[in-house]
Amino acid sequence: MIEINFSGRPVRVTCQRQSGPFVAEFQIDVAIEYERGDMAYRHIEVRRIAGALGAEVHGVDLARPLSAEVTDEIRRAWLDHLVLFFRDQPLDLPAYMAFAQQFGEPVEYPFVRGLEGYPKIIEIKKLEHERVNFGGIWHADTTYQDKPPMATTLLAREVPPYGGDTLFANQYLAYETLSPGLQRLLDGLHAVYSSAKADTTKTREDRMQDSARDDVREEYLAEHPAVRVHPETGRKALYVNVAHTVRFRGMTEEESRPLLEYLYAHQIRPELTCRFSWRVGSIAFWDNRCAQHNPVNDYHGFRRVMHRITLAGDRPSGISAAAR
Ligand code: SIN
């Protein structure tokens, strides 16, 4: 017979033997395991906010350096949920930069100047009198670059009294919910991405007036696989986006348009998305390799101010001809 008396640590386990009591003492680590399906977290609490993607992370103070264990768990949760949200983290600029650096290498944004002393933090804002919000179109960040950023983090400084949420869409699911025939077709295609599409350019105009970089180029152009293989998870994600994709390689814009239009509508179907409502001090941290985002422009007359850091990424890889 074994009797366990739990009263803090250590735990005393008493084994009753015929010849008399035998006492053994064990040191055990008491850790709360936060469960999500088959994933367990020992140091953070991860709460999904939607079926497709997105989770809030609780139990961490991002103003302090994170231990290797916590950083690893956050990264695991991030790869699993594509976008993580943290509440009540009003980090100052050095702490925000330090938070981002634990997950990658911050890089500058090609169009807008960074903050004084922090060239890799840009201010994303819409002022009371402005009508267009920055980046107000479905997209993954700057896919017109040869090596688009792996990740983006956004910290809310000022939020409107209502509205100004950001939508996210899971591009693994976007790919996986296509028919096998269309998947096979897309597996072999590359797309051309431009920074100069009119609907996107207009979402930058207000900031280009007050914060344009001196070295800004007329247009950035890149080619990437239409279906990207995620370098960390190995999963396939649909990589075209309405903000930056102009056509498929080897085809005209006119020829590409019907299929691209279909994909743009498919990849943001409501069941593939989640929606995050900001509070001052909220942080979002998303994976541009498999998620798209779109800030909702429904708060005219109010200010919304965010600080953004993007983290360096690699050159997107597609599906090799052998694997198709
Ligand atoms: C962006 O980085 O595209 C802006 C997202 C937002 O303002 O919510």
pLDDT digits 0-9 by tens, 77-119: 999 999 999 999 999 999 999 999 999 999 999 999 999 999 9
pLDDT value at 289 more than 50: yes
CA of 295 to the centre of ligand 1 (A): 6
pLDDT of 11 reads: 44
Distance CA 45, CA 38 (A): 14
Cα 182 to middle of ligand 1, angstroms = 30
* Bigger pLDDT: 8 vs 131: 131
Average pLDDT over residues 4-18: 45
Cα(294) to centroid of ligand 1, in Å?
A: 7
Q: How confident is the model at residue 4, as a pLDDT?
A: 47
CB atoms within 10 A of CB 132: 12
Q: Which residue's CA is the nearest one to ligand 1's atom 2?
A: 135
Quote the ligand 1 centre to 110 CA distance (angstroms): 15
In short, whether 295's Cβ falls inside 6 Å of ligand 1 is yes
What is the pLDDT, as a whole number, of residue 131?
Answer: 96
Closest Cα to atom 1 of ligand 1: 135
What are the structural domains, with CATH classification, of the chain?
A: 1-32 (no CATH), 36-323 (3.60.130.10)
In which band, very low, low, confident or very high, does the pLDDT at 17 lie, cut at 50, 70 and 90? low
- pLDDT at position 320: 84
Query: How large is the greatest C-alpha to C-alpha distance in the chain, in angstroms?
Result: 89
What pLDDT shows up at residue 212?
Answer: 85
Choose among 88, 91, 152, 148: nearest CA to 120: 152
pLDDT value of residue 157: 98
pLDDT digits (tens, 9 = 90+) for 249-272: 999 999 999 999 999 999 999 999
For the four alpha carbons of 33, 36, 40 and 41, in that order, the dihedral sign comes to: negative
What rounded mean pLDDT belongs to the chain? 91
Cα 121 from Cα 49, distance rounded (Å): 27
Give all strands (DSSP E) within 159-297, no chain letters.
166-170, 190-194, 221-225, 227-229, 236-238, 245-248, 273-276, 283-287, 291-295
Whether 29 has a pLDDT exceeding 70, the answer reads no
- For residue 298 the two structure tokens come to 């429904």
Q: How far is the CA of 134 from the centre of ligand 1 (A)?
A: 7
Contact 112/216 with Cβ under 8 angstroms?
Answer: no
Cβ of 245 below 6 Å from ligand 1: no
- CA pair distance 304, 44, nearest whole angstrom: 29
Residues 6 or more apart in contact with residue 225 via CB below 8 angstroms = 189, 190, 191, 239, 316, 317, 318, 319
Q: Which atom of ligand 1 is nearest to the CA of 308?
A: 2
Confidence of residue 55 (pLDDT cuts 50, 70, 90): very high
Q: Of 261, 219, 212, 255, which Cα lies nearest the Cα of 240?
A: 261
Looking at this protein, which amino acid is placed at residue 175?
Answer: Y
Nearest atom within ligand 1 for CA of residue 152:
2
Encoded tokens for 211:
């914060």
Which atom number of ligand 1 is nearest to the Cα of residue 284? 8
Catalytic residue annotation: 139, 141, 293, 308
**Using CA positions, which residue lies closest to atom 5 of ligand 1?**
295
Structure tokens at 23: 């006492």
Mean pLDDT of all residues in 194-208: 90
* Residue 13 binned pLDDT confidence (cut-offs 50, 70, 90): very low
